[in-house]
Structure 1
């Protein structure tokens, strides 16, 4: 499969993808504790940890719950993979209808949120998967060094699992202004947005760093870093907010811009298509009705395969019979009459002709005027 973004299709609107890194110890135990607490509270219908025998360093967790007053079922699959700095996680959830960002975040079904985090680094699950130091759910101050700032923004923009929001502070904010803006977003966006903050003095530096990405942050405003490649009809200015008030008020314009941006039909993040296929093809947490439906589907597939094999066998048999009939007809047809070809002379005939050529010529055989047949006088 190609890794090019242009070769990857957009994910269906029913899918919610997210990725991150847990840097604390015992990632599996943290997830198991949260899943048990969610099921005990009635938030989850059920969960399971299916075995992964082919990769002992990999852990998989499945969970199912309902949203929209219990009318829509959501299935989610989280995969943990060991890395040098903690464990990387990928989470793909799929609903029975297009995703509504007002629904609870699938990340909070597996990871602790708010006051639920206990000791031992349980809250350290929200680190950026590709850029060291960046985190979800909080403010990420941009580096003071211009080149480092440029590198951070460039590397963050490459990872399509996250939405990157750059905010410029018009003036040094107070306590309320230092609170993360991402926490004011709808629940379905909180764990997919990385908030970068530039100080008042970094206005020129941040726009220099953003120049290669083709966007610019307004003074005291915000901008969303463009996807790569940008989808058809994408206009960078539509995702820039002129003013962001860091006073604790609702950032209505900013929320609208982030929601529009997240809804763009962008190419699937690298690895997301495989994760979705894994969710659909290897799902184990099924209800009795789902198991029956799956078995009926398998029976139907086997019946179709058997019918196809039977058709192929019949066609082969028919072809063989036609070939035998044609061969028999060819054997029963008399050969056409052919004029005999001139037979070459036998060795005896050739020898006879040679002796005849050596026989002496008699008088009666002599030509008129030939003196060889007369006696000398």
Structure 2
């Protein structure tokens, strides 16, 4: 049964998300060198590599996640906290999930968190879409086979991690037209967009492959694909561009469509909920002020727990004293009492009943 956006948590306005695959070598080495360079250049304030968790046996059965945390400031005063987790991929390489959260709603003109964690060099292959082996920084030509193209789109939009844009070339372009649309996007969108490019002769097969998604690409135009599920407020005609001039000039209408699509309320992508919870609840890279506040919070929590234990102990002590008094009174009255006679007077509660009531009163006080 397809998951509906109404039952999935929505992506908070303060959060930036990305996912991909690092193809070659050890991703943690690349991240470590890149973050050290960003810290030296003061692009970030600080970073932390978390130690590997789990025993050796657990690591062999299910390799542990390698985690890096980083923090920086945007607009001089707004703090951004970010976490990237790297795990071995099912078919080689390493999968990564990056979650960043700012103290204010996210502004796409802020630096891309992926661009701060990963190096800028084009020969470092960290920018692969792990699902469909697509590039996040370059143009992705469509397969020649229409059925393969249909399968590609169906798999690519699952999960909701990336914004997929399809551009059809009205005629074969030169080098000026082979510039990714990401070049003109705000920095915060450049590593969230996957651009597909269809050759002039692929127009009919392209639209056949897109029928399942309910969208069509105008000849020489473009469309922003809906995710699965589609964001609230998505309508295909609002994100279709009639003409894209691939002459090296800025495709203004397409940039506007992508930017508007990115601003739509959307559910958290598959797997993002756990990553966001880890960022918020298991954060280690604290400033001195945050560490002090954390310790104060722990002291207050322990003091409250101690006070509750003290109150409980006093209640138990009071109940025990009353129980001993009632028991002593019962024993004295039992020894001195004559043979019971019937009386028409109102019966007086026996010491045993008094003892029972003492425990009932204590139970009521302790529960309150």
Fold similarity call, TM over 0.5: yes
Q: Which of 65, 73, 79 lines up with 1:73 in the alignment?
A: 79
Question: Following the alignment from structure 2 to structure 1, what is the Cα–Cα distance between the partners of residues 294 and 322?
Answer: 42
Question: Following the alignment from structure 1 to structure 2, what is the Cα–Cα distance between the partners of residues 45 and 271?
Answer: 28
Aligned to 2:258: 258
Going from structure 1 to structure 2, the CA distance change for 1:199 and 1:321 (only over 3 Å counts) comes to farther
Question: Following the alignment from structure 1 to structure 2, what is the Cα–Cα distance between the partners of residues 9 and 321?
Answer: 54
SS of equivalent residue, structure 2 residue 277: helix
Aligned to 1:38: 38
Going from structure 1 to structure 2, the CA distance change for 1:236 and 1:313 (only over 3 Å counts) comes to farther
Going from structure 1 to structure 2, the CA distance change for 1:329 and 1:31 (only over 3 Å counts) comes to same
Aligned to 2:110: 103
Question: Following the alignment from structure 2 to structure 1, what is the Cα–Cα distance between the partners of residues 322 and 21?
Answer: 66
Aligned to 1:82: 88
Question: Following the alignment from structure 1 to structure 2, what is the Cα–Cα distance between the partners of residues 306 and 46?
Answer: 37
Query: 1:171, CA displacement in angstroms?
Result: 1.3
Question: Following the alignment from structure 1 to structure 2, what is the Cα–Cα distance between the partners of residues 255 and 193?
Answer: 11
Question: Contact 1:130–1:159 at 8 Å: present in 2 too?
Answer: no
Does residue 27 of structure 1 match 2:38? no
**Corresponding pairs, count:** 330
Question: Following the alignment from structure 1 to structure 2, what is the Cα–Cα distance between the partners of residues 259 and 275?
Answer: 25
Question: Contact 2:3–2:229 at 8 Å: present in 1 too?
Answer: no
Going from structure 1 to structure 2, the CA distance change for 1:312 and 1:231 (only over 3 Å counts) comes to farther
Aligned to 2:365: none
Aligned to 1:355: none
Aligned to 1:219: 219
Query: 1:233, CA displacement in angstroms?
Result: 3.2
1:194-209 matches, within 5 Å, as: 194-209=194-209
The higher radius of gyration belongs to 1
1:138-287 matches, within 5 Å, as: 138-287=138-287
Question: Following the alignment from structure 1 to structure 2, what is the Cα–Cα distance between the partners of residues 336 and 245?
Answer: 112
Going from structure 1 to structure 2, the CA distance change for 1:326 and 1:143 (only over 3 Å counts) comes to farther
Instruction: State the Cα deviation string for residues 282-308 of structure 1 (Å, max 9, x = none).
Output: 211111011111112222333444455
Q: Which stretches in structure 2 are left out of the alignment for 5+ residues?
A: 344-368
Question: Following the alignment from structure 2 to structure 1, what is the Cα–Cα distance between the partners of residues 271 and 298?
Answer: 28
Question: Contact 2:176–2:247 at 8 Å: present in 1 too?
Answer: yes
Question: Contact 2:95–2:130 at 8 Å: present in 1 too?
Answer: yes
Q: Which stretches in structure 1 are left out of the alignment for 5+ residues?
A: 339-377
1:286-301 matches, within 5 Å, as: 286-301=286-301
Going from structure 1 to structure 2, the CA distance change for 1:26 and 1:309 (only over 3 Å counts) comes to same
Aligned to 2:67: 60
SS of equivalent residue, structure 2 residue 201: helix
Question: Following the alignment from structure 1 to structure 2, what is the Cα–Cα distance between the partners of residues 303 and 257?
Answer: 55
Question: Following the alignment from structure 2 to structure 1, what is the Cα–Cα distance between the partners of residues 328 and 12?
Answer: 60
Does residue 48 of structure 1 match 2:66? no
Instruction: State the Cα deviation string for residues 45-70 of structure 1 (Å, max 9, x = none).
Output: 111101122255421111111111x2
Does residue 93 of structure 1 match 2:100? yes
Going from structure 1 to structure 2, the CA distance change for 1:232 and 1:163 (only over 3 Å counts) comes to closer
Does residue 123 of structure 1 match 2:124? yes
Question: Contact 1:22–1:89 at 8 Å: present in 2 too?
Answer: yes
SS of equivalent residue, structure 2 residue 256: helix
Question: Following the alignment from structure 1 to structure 2, what is the Cα–Cα distance between the partners of residues 74 and 248?
Answer: 34
Question: Contact 1:67–1:74 at 8 Å: present in 2 too?
Answer: yes
Going from structure 1 to structure 2, the CA distance change for 1:145 and 1:328 (only over 3 Å counts) comes to farther
Question: Following the alignment from structure 1 to structure 2, what is the Cα–Cα distance between the partners of residues 265 and 322?
Answer: 63
Going from structure 1 to structure 2, the CA distance change for 1:320 and 1:194 (only over 3 Å counts) comes to farther
Question: Following the alignment from structure 2 to structure 1, what is the Cα–Cα distance between the partners of residues 298 and 328?
Answer: 45
Aligned to 1:366: none
Question: Following the alignment from structure 2 to structure 1, what is the Cα–Cα distance between the partners of residues 84 and 194?
Answer: 20
Query: 1:108, CA displacement in angstroms?
Result: 1.4
Query: 1:95, CA displacement in angstroms?
Result: 0.9
